[in-house]
């Protein structure tokens, strides 16, 4: 059997089950069924050797099912349970089964970007990371942080920590800086990166800034040899995660402070993402060096709105992710 789901424009979801080797009685066409809270329930012969079941509903995810022998069991009401072959299944989402590791960039001897006396990247991103941890915990997820105070963690140790925790998602939080004073008033906005060969000048500059503490003594070829350890599936999933997080951050901040510049979701070579065995992204939460945005990054409520957007983006990704 093969299962997949398709979100619809009206807010409902189609749950599709393909049962191979099954056939309807001869002459039987599409079979329609009705059930409380189900918009439509159809069974049809999709091909000579494949039976297709399509359920459409606006309920919370109905993606739990079990298949044993000649029997397919699908709980059709969110929160209800069903049993098959001694196994009980339910469509209640168990968020505790998801583990998320939050990485507050820099720390200790590594200040990260600094500006204007009071703007310090390592302190700002730690504050955001702590707020994100609270929000994710309140949403029911299991959460760990690579650092919970001001100390230095080597870049490879961060993803190593996430791998040991068997994390489902790795989020590294940073704040950006313009390359020089002339561009300080120009460079602004949210940027989300996933590990892939860098394509734009701005992505390369951001990667060089964040990688400097790790790669300052390594030559060009050594850097690229290290940073080429990529996995195609992880890249695709990280891109999807980045898109969801980017969208929700912008929505959260725009509700509070008006228009926020969107730098988009981009590929780049960030050392901190190398080695992660799960979907992982690096978020540049804004530019410390920008006159307005830099001040906002110091504001506790603005930090909370950033954390809210990140948390909602993670939840959106996990809901859409095929289980």
Q: Quick one: pLDDT at residue 97?
A: 79
Averaged over 217-235, what is the pLDDT?
Answer: 54
Q: How does DSSP classify residue 222?
A: H
2 strand-pairing partners: 18
Tell me the pTM.
0.67
From CA 55, how far away is CA 78, in angstroms rounded? Answer: 13
Q: Quick one: pLDDT at residue 126?
A: 98
Q: Quick one: pLDDT at residue 276?
A: 87
Report which of residues 215 and 140 the model is more confident about.
140
Percentage of the chain with pLDDT > 90?
45
Averaged over 5-27, what is the pLDDT?
Answer: 83
Chain segment 264-319, per-residue pLDDT in tens: 999 887 777 878 889 999 999 999 999 999 999 999 999 999 999 999 999 999 98
Averaged over 69-80, what is the pLDDT?
Answer: 75
Q: E-strand spans in the chain?
A: 2-7, 13-20, 31-33, 40-47, 50-57, 66-68, 71-73, 81-84, 87-90, 99-104, 114-115, 119-120, 142-145, 169-176, 190-195, 262-268, 280-287
**Is the Cβ–Cβ distance between 169 and 314 less than 8 Å?**
yes
The residue length of the chain stands at 323
| Identity of the highest mean pLDDT range in 203-207, 233-237, 254-258, 314-318 | 314-318
CA distances from 303 to 129, 137, 236, 286, 317 (A): 9, 17, 28, 11, 21
Q: Quick one: pLDDT at residue 198?
A: 55
Compute how many other C-beta atoms are within 10 angstroms of the C-beta atom of residue 33.
Answer: 12
Q: What angle separates helix 300-320 from helix 232-257, to the nearest 10 degrees?
A: 140
Among the listed residues 74, 49, 43, 47, the one whose alpha carbon sits nearest the alpha carbon of residue 59:
74
| Identity of the highest mean pLDDT range in 41-55, 128-142, 216-230, 270-284 | 128-142
| Phi/psi of residue 172, nearest 5 degrees | -105, 125
CA distances from 202 to 188, 193, 238 (A): 12, 11, 19
Q: Quick one: pLDDT at residue 323?
A: 45
Find the radius of gyration of the CA atoms of the chain. Answer: 23
- 81-120 burial, b if ≥16 CB within 10 A, otherwise e? ebeeeeeebebebeeeebbbbbbbbbbeebebbbbeeebb
Q: Quick one: pLDDT at residue 212?
A: 59
Q: Which residues of the chain form CATH 3.40.630.40?
A: 95-320
Q: Quick one: pLDDT at residue 152?
A: 95
Given a cut of 90, is residue 33 above it in pLDDT?
no
CA distances from 108 to 151, 245, 297 (A): 4, 28, 20
Give CA 119 to chain center in angstroms: 27
| Phi/psi of residue 19, nearest 5 degrees | -110, 110
Looking at domain 95-320, its CATH class is: alpha beta
Average pLDDT, the chain: 84
Given a cut of 90, is residue 213 above it in pLDDT?
no
Q: Quick one: pLDDT at residue 34?
A: 77
What is the three-class DSSP state of 171?
strand
| Identity of the highest mean pLDDT range in 71-85, 91-105, 279-293 | 279-293
Q: What angle separates helix 300-320 from helix 121-138, to the nearest 10 degrees?
A: 50
**Residue 247, class by beta-carbon neighbours within 10 Å (0-12 exposed, 13-18 middle, 19+ buried)?**
middle
Report which of residues 144 and 230 the model is more confident about.
144
């Amino acid at each position: 059997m093969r299962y997949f789901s398709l979100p619809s424009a009206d807010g409902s979801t189609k749950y599709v089950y393909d049962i191979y080797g099954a056939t309807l009685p001869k002459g039987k066409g599409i079979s329609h069924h009705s059930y409380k809270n189900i918009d439509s329930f159809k069974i049809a012969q999709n091909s000579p050797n494949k039976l297709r079941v399509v359920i459409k509903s606006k309920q919370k995810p109905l993606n739990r099912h079990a298949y044993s022998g000649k029997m397919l069991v699908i709980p059709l009401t969110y929160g209800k349970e069903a049993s098959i072959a001694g196994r009980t299944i339910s469509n209640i989402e168990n968020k505790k089964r998801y583990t998320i590791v939050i990485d507050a960039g820099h720390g200790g001897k590594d200040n990260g970007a600094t500006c204007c006396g009071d703007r310090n990247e390592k302190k700002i991103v730690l504050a955001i990371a702590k707020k994100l941890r609270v929000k994710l915990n309140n949403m029911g997820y299991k959460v760990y942080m690579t650092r919970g105070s001001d100390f230095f963690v080597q870049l490879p140790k961060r993803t190593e920590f996430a791998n040991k925790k068997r994390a489902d998602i790795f989020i590294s939080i940073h704040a950006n800086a313009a390359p020089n004073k002339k561009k300080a008033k120009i460079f602004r906005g949210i940027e989300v990166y996933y590990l892939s060969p860098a394509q734009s000048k701005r992505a390369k500059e951001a990667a060089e800034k964040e990688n400097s503490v790790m790669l300052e003594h390594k030559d060009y070829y050594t850097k690229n040899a290290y940073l080429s350890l990529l996995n195609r599936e992880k890249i695709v999933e990280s891109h999807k995660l980045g898109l969801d997080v980017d969208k929700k951050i912008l929505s959260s901040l725009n509700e509070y402070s008006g228009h926020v510049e969107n730098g988009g979701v981009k590929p780049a070579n960030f050392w901190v993402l190398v080695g992660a065995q799960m979907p992982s992204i690096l978020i540049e939460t804004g530019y410390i060096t920008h006159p307005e945005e830099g001040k906002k990054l110091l504001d506790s409520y603005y930090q909370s709105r950033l954390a809210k957007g990140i948390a909602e983006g993670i939840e959106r990704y996990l809901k859409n992710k095929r289980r």
